[in-house]
Amino acid sequence: MTKKVSDNTVRWGILGVGDVCEVKSAPAMQIIENSELVAVMRRNGAKAKDYAQRHRVSKWYDNADQLINDPEVNAIYIATPPNAHEELTIKAAKAGKPVYVEKPMARSLAECKQMVAICEESNVPLYVAYYRRSLPNFLKLKSLVESGIIGDVQLIKIELYKTIDSNDSIIRAESMSDNWRVDPEISGGGYFFDLASHQLDYLDYAFGPIQSAHGYAGNQAKLYGAADIITGSFTFENGIQGVGSWCFTVDDTAQKDELTIIGTKGKLTIPFYGAAEIRLERSDSRNEIFKFDLPKHIQEPLITTIVGDILGKETCPSTGVSAARTNWVMEEMTKNYYTLK
């Protein structure tokens, strides 16, 4: 492997230091070996300064170009909403700095392709924050499937149903007017792009690329412009088939978060946003529940692989190339709605 920075320390600069950087991601950059967080940026300078002071970061900016061109910064983390991902990735890549971008990778497959192309042209790596590829519960799920404990996989089923006022999410009816996640011009495609992207990307990691996908998206509640209900089907290159349904306006009694993997000898079930556990049910009645402790900073395992990859010590499992495939699947499932819109 080839090192992608000039020394043995990855010195991060963050563009868009908002909520995701409070616990999930940025603090991990300060505790991982050979990793430092040296600068943060937000358009609101007061908020950038506040973050820097609270998290003991030495520099803060209110201008993206200044952070990108800071000579002390040698890697860029883009934690803005998706509408800025392409522009900022291009700037960071042209500055010769590795790029780590929040999910979904971009608003569209076209933007993803441009991001991949500019990073390849600039000879810098591009990583995407699909951190379930490195979490212990999802690594265990993948290993259980590969062990053959449920036989040959036949069908994969995703079910994600949330109320408008889910306590475990940011879905709040009263805040829709200023909620960028439900504005397709900013997010690309509502809560489906925000939440289902994690699910579909993990399936790409565990079962290989999806070769065909179809779906139907609609807007039942009329609370915002993005689709609020999506149903879809997909087939992997290896022949495994899958189905999924997502609805973000259900009644309390219908809430559900479950991925089910059905095999010839049993099934595996795991929530994506709930308890860190896996349920194994087998035809021979040897059932089991696996429970896991997750890291405080949930992106730490993935960021550790990114630092290792940049330093030429290991390979990160989540790249721009793999993440672009997830955008393609989401577009295929929702193109009836967004094409018509």
pLDDT digits (tens, 9 = 90+) for 146-168: 999 999 999 999 999 999 865 54
Every domain range in the chain assigned CATH 3.30.360.10: 136-294
Q: Give me the CATH code for the 136-294 domain, please.
A: 3.30.360.10
List average pLDDT for each run of 10 residues in the chain, which is 341 residues long.
Answer: 81 96 97 98 96 97 98 98 98 98 98 98 98 98 97 97 69 64 94 97 98 97 94 97 97 96 97 96 90 98 98 97 98 93 60
Over residues 46-95, the pLDDT tens digits come to 999 999 999 999 999 999 999 999 999 999 999 999 999 999 999 999 99
Helix (H) or strand (E) holding 199: helix 197-207
Question: What's the burial of 268, exposed, middle or buried (CB within 10 Å: 0-12/13-18/19+)?
Answer: buried
Sequence letter at residue 247: C
Q: Which residues contact 71 (CB under 8 A, 6 or more apart)?
A: none
Q: Do 71 and 81 form a contact (C-beta atoms < 8 A)? A: no
Three-state secondary-structure class, residue 291: strand
Q: Which residues contact 84 (CB under 8 A, 6 or more apart)?
A: 15, 16, 78
Q: Do 99 and 78 form a contact (C-beta atoms < 8 A)? A: yes
Task: Report the 10 Å Cβ neighbour count for 240.
Answer: 19
Instruction: Report the predicted TM-score, pTM, of the whole model to 2 decimal places.
Output: 0.95
Every domain range in the chain assigned CATH 3.40.50.720: 10-131+299-313
Over residues 133-144, the pLDDT tens digits come to 999 999 999 999
Sequence letter at residue 143: S
Q: Do 331 and 108 form a contact (C-beta atoms < 8 A)? A: yes
Given CATH 3.50.50.60, say whether it is the number of domain 10-131+299-313: no
Sequence letter at residue 257: D
